Amino acid sequence: MYDILIVGGGTAGLTAALYARRAGRSVLVLEGGGFGGQITASPLVENYPGIPSISGMAFADALTGQALDLGADAELERVAAARRTGDGFVLTAGGRSFSGRALVLATGAKHRKLGLSGEERLVGNGVSYCAACDGAFFAGEDVAVAGGGDSALQAALFLSKRCGRVYLVHRREEFRGEPCHVAALKKRENITLCLSRQVTALEGADSLTGVELTAAGGVRERLPVTGLFVAVGQEPDNRVFAELAELDAAGYVRAGEDCRTSTPGVFAAGDCRTKELRQLTTAAADGAQAAAAACGWLDQAGL
């Protein structure tokens, strides 16, 4: 019986593990993909305070090592089922069961992809899912943003302050984002709206050299851009935990800045919870907060 079970070995889960270990609690981290989480896909991180520049893999390795060195146990298994018991929680992963008194959900989220040929190969070499993370790498260059919701509008506005021309490509005539964002981007001279069009192909062997757009009527055109920011939403996957913690309409775990969920003893940290900004800093902050809240909850229960 562990004091704290943590689902997800990304920045939030590993930070929770190191805070819980430093508080003297026994911890098991269950990770279904690879330790480090999403950031391992990023070649360069330049916005983590105190670390001017580091690869996502090096960041993930350092954080994983730090949590393990502090004595966190870890299993490379995906949690397939979760239930509450009389004295805590039981997780099923890889055909085994793991018990703990408190539970931290740190399952992250995945950026939706366009599903185009070459998309995965060009991540970090022109294709990005995060303007706040990668926008600075495209200073002065022409880029495209794909999407029509608030995240796409905000990405276009953010990039227009740094890049040359920003093409905002949206498959409909109307945006789904907030009217104030739509009004703001119509005023930016270096934003070109490409409405009723979709990105249908990516060009470039080693790095992006352009994108193909196809209009609703089938007419094709080429945009000579070196960056494509895909902002068509994120997908959390918390269905396994839906009986344990309330989810919002989009599937994120409902929890505030205190990381407490609707169930006592269950906490949510990082990209998997309802929040505005999904970044390493906010994931790390949540991990610390969730661990502190879980330790406090165990203390109060006399466990």
Ligand X SMILES: Cc1cc2nc3c(=O)[nH]c(=O)nc-3n(C[C@H](O)[C@H](O)[C@H](O)COP(=O)(O)OP(=O)(O)OC[C@H]3O[C@@H](n4cnc5c(N)ncnc54)[C@H](O)[C@@H]3O)c2cc1C
With a CB cutoff of 8 Å and minimum separation 6, the contacts of 106 are 6, 7, 8, 9, 10, 12, 13, 16, 268, 269, 270, 272, 283, 286, 287, 290
Q: Is 134 part of the annotated catalytic residue set?
A: yes
Q: 242 is written with which tokens?
A: 């839906």
Catalytic one among 3, 69, 73, 133? 133
Q: Is 180 part of the annotated catalytic residue set?
A: no
Binding of residue 78 to ligand X (CB under 6 A): yes
Site size toward ligand X (CB under 6 A) is: 38
Q: Is 272 part of the annotated catalytic residue set?
A: no
Candidate ranges 62-70, 126-134, 182-190, 199-207; the one touching ligand X (CB under 6 A): 126-134
State the angle between helix axes of 150-160 and 179-187 in degrees (0 to 180), rounded to the nearest 10.
Answer: 30
Q: What is the DSSP string of 136-167?
A: GGGTTS-EEEE--SHHHHHHHHHHHTTSS-EE
Among 70, 240, 288, 292, binds ligand X (CB under 6 A): 240
* Alpha carbon distance 221, 202 (integer Å): 12
Binding of residue 295 to ligand X (CB under 6 A): no
- Which residue, 148, 136, 228, 153, is CA-closest to 191? 153
- Which residue, 287, 178, 161, 156, is CA-closest to 229? 156
Least distance between ligand X and beta carbon 6 (Å): 9
Binding of residue 130 to ligand X (CB under 6 A): yes
Interactions with ligand X, residue window 9-48 (CB under 6 A)? 9-13, 30-33, 37-39, 41-42, 45, 47
User: What track of x and - describes contact with ligand X for positions 193 through 232 (by CB under 6 A)?
Assistant: ----------------------------------------
Binding interface with ligand X (CB under 6 A) = 7-13, 30-33, 37-39, 41-42, 45, 47, 78-79, 106-108, 111, 123, 129-130, 133, 237, 240, 270-272, 278-281, 283
* Catalytic residue positions, numbered: 130, 133-134
